[in-house]
Amino acid sequence: MPSRSEHHAIVAAVDGSPSSTAAVEWAAQDAELRHLPLHLVHVVPPAVVPAGPWPQAPVELLEALDAEGSQILHDAQTLALQATSPSRAANVTTEMLHSPIVPTLIDLSQDATMVVLGCRGTGTVETALLGSVSSGLVHYAHCPVAVIHDEDPLVARSPKAPVLVGIDGSPTSELATEIAFDEASRRRARLVALHAWSDMGPLEFPSINWAPIEWRNIKERETEVLTERLCGWQERYPDVVVEKIVVADRPAPRLLEHAHSAQLVVVGSHGRGGFPGMLLGSVSRTVVNSARIPVIVARLSRGATLPGS
């Protein structure tokens, strides 16, 4: 069974892949911003070998996997310490576990503040948008999951780019809003709060005066609703400058559009269109697959404390 040394820590899953390397660096910086420990985990899945007269093969294979895992953890810890202050050394721990990868990380997520991992690992087809491990975590984790892409170096060059959050009033959207405010405050960045109130595609008119009165009334009402949803968080985070965007369009395309100029996007795991028991909604699935910046999927945890509390 996994240990509980990662309790209330940022847990980063590492496997030595390029996106895992990017995830370690991001996780180290985010853990420092939150004043939380960082727990680096490498999971070695059970070895599967063909049946045959090779009694030493499993032992040799396990030894090789352990040696590789130790090196991966050592490299990840070195990178994490390089990405943060020297005083953080005691707050960066490592652990190698021998068990199925996805169930193990899901189990660890029960006590973690957030799980961070690359979009795809060493065993993923190069053209795949999301690997099986990251896909499993964003569907089943018990805490927020940050999926880190390694393709776009613009994030490192734009530390003051805004944090983007999608808001639709669902419970996970409320958690996403809280996470986004907390991240924006700690990063000293603007917050772009986007509310898309139509699921039918863009509704555009030559000007507001051309729009049907019903449409104008709906847009005004939705703007007021967004303001009300943000009011309490703005009082709690008065240092965060908020840009409100209300559009009559599907949320995923607009979130991806604004993600081009953001450093981080936060979405709920499933929104207003989700049904009870839904694990991942279409908006979060599209954003986590297509955005080329870090994406935090806000999953409701069991009895978890609020971000920054």
Task: Give 29-49 as a 3 state SS string.
Answer: HHHHHHCCCEEEEEEECCCCC
How much is the pLDDT for 90? 92
- Given a cut of 60, is residue 56 above it in pLDDT? no
The rounded percent of the chain whose pLDDT value lies above 90 is: 52
Between 236 and 307, residue with greater pLDDT: 236
Q: CB atoms < 10 A from the CB of 294, how many?
A: 25
How much is the pLDDT for 170? 79
Rounded to an integer, the average pLDDT of 77-91 is: 93
How much is the pLDDT for 255? 94
The rounded percent of the chain whose pLDDT value lies above 70 is: 75
Rounded to an integer, the average pLDDT of 140-152 is: 87
Rounded to an integer, the average pLDDT of 228-235 is: 93
- Residue 151, φ and ψ in degrees, nearest 5: -80, -30
pLDDT tens, residue by residue, 267-291? 998 654 443 444 467 888 899 999 9
- Residue 126, φ and ψ in degrees, nearest 5: -55, -35
Between 208 and 115, residue with greater pLDDT: 115
pLDDT tens, residue by residue, 116-131? 999 875 544 443 445 7
Angstrom distance (rounded) from CA 127 to CA 180:
30
- Contact criterion met (CB below 8 Å) for 42 and 96: yes
Using alpha carbons, select from 111, 90, 106 the residue that is nearest to residue 35: 90
How much is the pLDDT for 280? 61
Rounded to an integer, the average pLDDT of 199-221 is: 56
Using alpha carbons, select from 61, 150, 63, 44 the residue that is nearest to residue 105: 44
pLDDT tens, residue by residue, 297-306? 998 765 444 4
CATH of domain 163-298: 3.40.50.12370
Residue 200, classified by CB atoms within 10 Å of its CB into exposed (0-12), middle (13-18) or buried (19+), is exposed
Arithmetic mean of pLDDT over the chain: 82
Provide the sign of the torsion angle of the four alpha carbons 267, 151, 12, 39, taken in this order: negative
Rounded to an integer, the average pLDDT of 83-112 is: 94
- Given a cut of 70, is residue 10 above it in pLDDT? yes
Provide the residue ranges of all domains of the chain, joining segments of one domain with +. 9-148, 163-298
The whole-model pTM stands at: 0.84
The least confident of 36-40, 154-158, 282-286 is 154-158
* Domains 9-148 and 163-298 belong to one CATH topology: yes
How much is the pLDDT for 55? 54
- Given a cut of 50, is residue 34 above it in pLDDT? yes
Length, in residues, of the chain: 309
Fold of 9-148: Rossmann fold (3.40.50)
